[in-house]
Amino acid sequence: MKKFIDSADTLLETSLRGFAAAHADILYLEEQPTFIRRLRRKAGKVAVISGGGSGHEPLHAGFVGTGMLDAACPGQIFTSPTPDQMLAAAEAVDGGAGVLFIVKNYAGDVMNFEMAAELLALPNASVLVSDDAALPKTHGIGRRGVAGTLVVEKIVGAAAEAGLDLAACRALGERAASVTASIGVALSSCTVPALGKPTFHLAEDEMELGVGIHGERGVATQAMAPASEICRQLCDLLAAELQVQTGQAILLHVNGFGATPLVELYAMYQLAADYWRGKQAVVARSLAGNFTTSLDMAGCSITVTLLDDELTRYWDAPVHTAALRW
């Protein structure tokens, strides 16, 4: 393992301090318990909080700021944050209009956010994101939350900023999540610092379809293929999922897993945009880059959200965070 670290024990803390120092105009870091909070509070709005294991940067802390998250709770790498982090974050950023948790569907995250909600006596405090189309909808613990989480956080964050109440923010988040699907492919494993070696092995002519974002194996190991074939396979899976009608406006998000350079991600974006235009969809909004990563994994995912006027308006609303700004 070659990484810029002193030890697996200190990497996250050092990184979070660096992140907070580099973006001191937007956010700051609280420690014991650890969370990142927005610098400029806005009174009377619903507080939107997310969190999850680290190693997916810039998700979630990179989305803290005006128009998106009020706080993010980072767990250790690929490990759920603890209820005391969520509790402290909620108490710190609650502006009187309630708190909404945006939670990726992983057992640990769900359990700990639920525990925090119970301790805060907050019923209906969560939007669950489970956009990973790699797993069947009937999967025992439900589908995982992956790169589509960014879309839900952006839309809910904008709605909260605009003054929607808690029930409306939650309903909007659930609606955004319900029209969002993602599918990923890995060209390499990632290496978790505490483990020190790749979590799975791929041969030089193999790729892994349907990976999540925690270095776990996907649903199938396949022969490596040209970009346009990979793209078609991923988009076919999304098309089977989302029922895209002629003229449907979509948000197309090509997300890198951390070690895939932009030149490849924009090529995948172009191929995916061509695919959806071929399906008579309108690629109305776009995002390409490394946003929901899996440490140093090479690979990418494609996320599609079916847009309507309301979702588009909140997607377009101003956002000022470390990783998303417009």
Binding interface with a copy of itself (CB under 8 A)? 2-7, 11-12, 14-19, 21-23, 54-55, 57-58, 62, 77, 187-188, 204, 207, 224, 226-228, 230, 258-271, 273, 283, 286-288, 290, 293, 295-296, 298, 300, 325-326
CA angle 182, 125, 94 (to 5 degrees): 115
Looking up tokens 């507080």 gives: 47
Shortest distance, position 20 Cβ to a copy of itself, whole Å? 9
Shortest distance, position 153 Cβ to a copy of itself, whole Å? 17
All residues at 6 or more sequence positions from 7 whose CB lies less than 8 Å from its CB, including other chains: none
288: β partners: 254
Instruction: Decide whether 133 or 273 has the Cβ nearer to a copy of itself.
Output: 273
Q: What is the CA 106 to chain-centroid distance, rounded?
A: 13
Shortest distance, position 136 Cβ to a copy of itself, whole Å? 26
Q: Rounded distance, CA 96 to CA 115, Å? A: 21
Confirm whether 139 is a catalytic residue.
Answer: no
Confirm whether 253 is a catalytic residue.
Answer: no
Q: How far is CA 309 from CA 185, 244, 246, 250, 313, in A?
A: 31, 16, 16, 11, 6
- Which of 23, 60, 201, 214 is flagged as catalytic? 214
Instruction: Decide whether 121 or 263 has the Cβ nearer to a copy of itself.
Output: 263
Shortest distance, position 313 Cβ to a copy of itself, whole Å? 16
Instruction: Decide whether 187 or 242 has the Cβ nearer to a copy of itself.
Output: 187
Shortest distance, position 122 Cβ to a copy of itself, whole Å? 30
- Which of 56, 60, 139, 201 is flagged as catalytic? 56
Q: DSSP for 279-294, please give it.
A: TT-EEEEEEEES-S--
Instruction: Decide whether 3 or 139 has the Cβ nearer to a copy of itself.
Output: 3
Burial of 156 (0-12, 13-18, 19+ CB in 10 A): buried
Shortest distance, position 315 Cβ to a copy of itself, whole Å? 13
Pairing of strands 249-256, 282-289: parallel
Instruction: Decide whether 82 or 290 has the Cβ nearer to a copy of itself.
Output: 290
Instruction: Decide whether 165 or 206 has the Cβ nearer to a copy of itself.
Output: 206
Q: Rounded distance, CA 93 to CA 46, Å? A: 9
All residues at 6 or more sequence positions from 104 whose CB lies less than 8 Å from its CB, including other chains: 52, 129, 130, 144, 145, 146, 149
Q: Rounded distance, CA 230 to CA 187, Å? A: 11
Positions annotated as catalytic residues are 56, 214
